[in-house]
Amino acid sequence: MKEYRSESLRNVVLMGHGSSGKTTLAEAMLFVSGAISRMGRVEDRNTVSDFDSEEHARGYSISSSLTPVEWENTRINLIDTPGYADFEGEVVAAAYAAEAALITVDATAGLESGTEVAWGLASAAGNLPRMLLVTRLDREHADFDRVLAQLRERFGNKVVPMAIPIGKASAIEGAIDLLTGRARRGDTQEDAPAAMAEVIAAAREMLVESVAETDDELLEKYLAGGTISDEELTEALHDGFAAGLVFPVLAVCAQREIGVRTLLDDIVRVFPSPVGRERAIDGGVLTCDPAGPLAVHVFKTTADPFVGHLSFMKVLSGKLATQIQPYNPRSRATERLGHLYVQRGKEQLEVPALHAGDIGVAAKLQGTVTGDVLVSSPEAKIAVAPLPLPIGTYRTALHPRSKEDVDKLSQALHRITEQDPTIRVERDADTHEVIMTTLGDAHAAIAIAHLAKNYSVDVEATVPRVPYRETISSPAKSEYRHKKQTGGHGQYGHVVIQIEPLERGSGFEFADAVVGGSVPRQFIPAVEKGIVETLPQGPLAQSPLVDLRVTLTDGSSHSVDSSEMAFKLAASQALKQGVLQAHPQLLEPVMKLRVRIPSENVGDVMSDLSGRRGAVHGVEPDGAVSVIEADVPLAEVQRYASDVRALTGGRGRFELEFSRYVEVPPHVQNHVLQELASAGE
């Protein structure tokens, strides 16, 4: 593929609700432009952008995919993104690499939760210009006018039609380009049908009025009744679109190639090039300038089974050529490029250079991961803010199935988290489980599948054990005499201890109150050590003992048989006995939960939280959404991500943060202990 200069580039992220036709549209754009000889189908698992075996198995996109399209001496770097919330991190990264967004809306389903999410993500990514595409217009009950009305009601009167369909449902024949007033059927253009004159006039009037409002001179001409030429309208639309003052809507039926050529034309003539786009950096802004300092942002990494490690990068400024050896400030290493590619699905198309604003791929970079910025030399000081990726809350415990899997798991997880920063992995110090946190159940399942496929690591996935604590609820006195006689010296240690509860969060305290030397001073450290070593395994659930004070009050010794080991064992047994007498109690971690949901779902979510033993502290309105703040036990929200989406039609978002440990209610404690006993059998 030839290299393109910055002004001839268009970087476009393709977003929308799951199954709203994004991948089919990308396929149609490639086919119409001549990049592929036949259109693939999602159902046949042969599209360019859905090439992963997991995508084939599931029938939907799980990662963003580059599908560059050449049209009218312009390269459109189209990034097809997943529509499901589990893969939102892919959408966020793609949006920050783009200058504009295409948002697909199913003509039958209309406005869906994924439409609103895509709109919000495009807005958050530097207020990207947005074009809305009403897709699948050949289906039964498809209704362009109804969907247009929904979009205008939800997103405002800046949403205006720019291409409308000819015919409905299975009778759809083509589309009218409102900028030119011409009809397009397939690859031919012709006069618009006379029978549609009134509809076309009304739709064009809506477009002209909205575009005129973005330009003072044009508005004055419009209000004076003057005629606005197609050239004036297109120029004002370009400026208004780039400024976020108008959001065009196009009619598209990708499977039948309807509206696709008009869409490609509009991307070239209306969408902004990357030239001049500003990106915030430490200490200021970086402007996309071909003559500027080199700055390359790596927004995605993958592992290709044939090529190896692939770094997807956008040139924010300057020019990246194969002979350049860029410097990575984070790893403090110089990278050797070897080759540069433009990625088309799973195919690498080699190019000699990438100009400012272009998106490409480099293979086998040794020290570069997602989020890194490559610069010209160690002296260059350019740092880009981290991508605002969503934080996972869906927790899964991973248990290797064999010794070989144990040995390989750590390295494999390190590679996976490098490729997908929305996945976090940690080892729970209390339960000794490896915990993987993802955005949802499908996200977790695919990560586990990649462990097996790419790294030959087989794991069992379970709900993580809750890291309970144990404490006491009343004081108790305990005495234990460790006495053992064998050949030669025996063992003798005798301690009397007092245990008492402390305030929550106090931890553990040890005190020495021995008088008269009943326990020799040299053995008191052994007593404390025996108690400390017993704390990690309480008598109820083998969980750590916390928030108690142990005071050594008395004991006795033997001049020959006493030893540090004997007193250590005596102290350990005295603590175990004493805790059982002091009414032991389980403690559980409680999380601070902050849920953002549509206001109409507040009742359902609050009822659900009540069933999870949650304590709601308040509900605050925030525009069209409400924010619920609550405390909820961790045991009840480890898989909350899937549930809150079900309750809110996919619109709910939430954050979790550890708060404190609290007592487990008696009926819940009995249930937990029964489950633990059953699991241990």
The pLDDT tens digits of the residues spanning 610-628 come to 999 999 999 999 888 999 9
One-letter amino acid for residue 676 of the chain: L
- Average pLDDT estimate for 515-520: 92
pLDDT tens-digit map of 526-557: 999 999 999 999 999 999 999 999 999 999 99
- For residue 1, tell me if it sits in a domain: no
Instruction: Give the pLDDT of residue 132.
Output: 98
- For residue 302, tell me if it sits in a domain: yes
* Whether 439 and 499 share a structural domain: no
DSSP structure class, residue 635:
G
Residue 294 pLDDT grade (very low, low, confident, very high; cuts 50, 70, 90): very high
Is a pLDDT exceeding 80 seen at residue 509?
yes
Tokens standing for 59? 């029938």
* Whether 127 and 214 share a structural domain: yes
Q: How do 130-135 and 247-251 pair as beta strands?
A: parallel
One-letter amino acid for residue 126 of the chain: G
* Whether 573 and 427 share a structural domain: no
Residue 482 lies in domain: 470-582
Contact, 89 vs 117, CB < 8 A? no
* Whether 594 and 618 share a structural domain: yes
pLDDT tens-digit map of 86-110: 999 999 999 999 999 999 999 999 9
For the chain, what is the domain count? 5
CA distance 535 to 562: 23
Q: Among residues 252, 270, 288, which one ends one of the domains?
A: 270
Q: Among residues 239, 270, 301, which one ends one of the domains?
A: 270
CA distance 437 to 333: 30
* Whether 95 and 226 share a structural domain: yes
Residue 463 pLDDT grade (very low, low, confident, very high; cuts 50, 70, 90): very high
* Cβ count within 10 A of residue 512: 14
Lowest mean pLDDT among 231-235, 330-334, 486-490, 563-567: 486-490
CA distance 641 to 631: 16
Is a pLDDT exceeding 70 seen at residue 487?
no
- For residue 516, tell me if it sits in a domain: yes
Contact, 68 vs 75, CB < 8 A? yes
Vertex 412 angle, CA 383 and 444, to 5°: 85
* Whether 341 and 435 share a structural domain: no
Contact, 90 vs 1, CB < 8 A? no
Kindly tell me the burial class for residue 618, based on how many C-beta atoms sit within 10 Å of its own C-beta (0-12, 13-18, 19 or more): exposed
Lowest mean pLDDT among 134-138, 211-215, 450-454, 622-626: 622-626
- For residue 120, tell me if it sits in a domain: yes
Kindly tell me the burial class for residue 568, based on how many C-beta atoms sit within 10 Å of its own C-beta (0-12, 13-18, 19 or more): buried
Residue 134 phi/psi, 5-degree rounding, is -85, 110
Map tokens 């409400």 to a residue.
Answer: 626
Contact, 626 vs 599, CB < 8 A? yes
* Whether 300 and 204 share a structural domain: no
- For residue 595, tell me if it sits in a domain: yes
CATH code for the domain of 666: 3.30.70.240
Instruction: Give the pLDDT of residue 488.
Output: 67
Q: Where are the alpha helices (DSSP H) in 101-229?
A: 113-124, 144-155, 197-212, 216-223
* Whether 116 and 65 share a structural domain: yes
Is a pLDDT exceeding 70 seen at residue 681?
no
Instruction: Give the pLDDT of residue 440.
Output: 93
* Whether 640 and 523 share a structural domain: no
pLDDT tens-digit map of 328-347: 999 999 999 989 999 999 99
* Whether 261 and 292 share a structural domain: no
CA distance 577 to 571: 10
Radius of gyration of the chain (CA): 32
Q: How do 373-375 and 295-304 pair as beta strands?
A: antiparallel
Sheet (strand 434-438) strand order: 424-427, 434-438, 394-400, 459-462
Helix (H/G/I), strand (E/B), else coil: 435: strand
CATH code for the domain of 574: 3.30.230.10
Q: What's the whole-number average pLDDT of the chain? A: 94
Contact, 83 vs 112, CB < 8 A? no
Q: Among residues 343, 375, 407, which one ends one of the domains?
A: 375
- For residue 474, tell me if it sits in a domain: yes
One-letter amino acid for residue 405 of the chain: D
Q: Where are the alpha helices (DSSP H) in 213-320?
A: 216-223, 230-242, 260-270
* Whether 456 and 489 share a structural domain: no
CA distance 76 to 96: 16
**Count of all residues that appear for the chain in the document:** 681
Helix (H/G/I), strand (E/B), else coil: 214: coil
Q: E strand or H helix at 301, and its extent?
A: strand 295-304
Vertex 93 angle, CA 592 and 2, to 5°: 175
Tokens standing for 9? 């580039």
CATH code for the domain of 110: 3.40.50.300
Helix (H/G/I), strand (E/B), else coil: 145: helix
- Average pLDDT estimate for 657-678: 93
Is a pLDDT exceeding 60 seen at residue 220?
yes
Helix (H/G/I), strand (E/B), else coil: 569: helix
Residue 473 pLDDT grade (very low, low, confident, very high; cuts 50, 70, 90): very high
* Cβ count within 10 A of residue 246: 25
- For residue 216, tell me if it sits in a domain: yes
* Whether 560 and 642 share a structural domain: no
- For residue 384, tell me if it sits in a domain: no
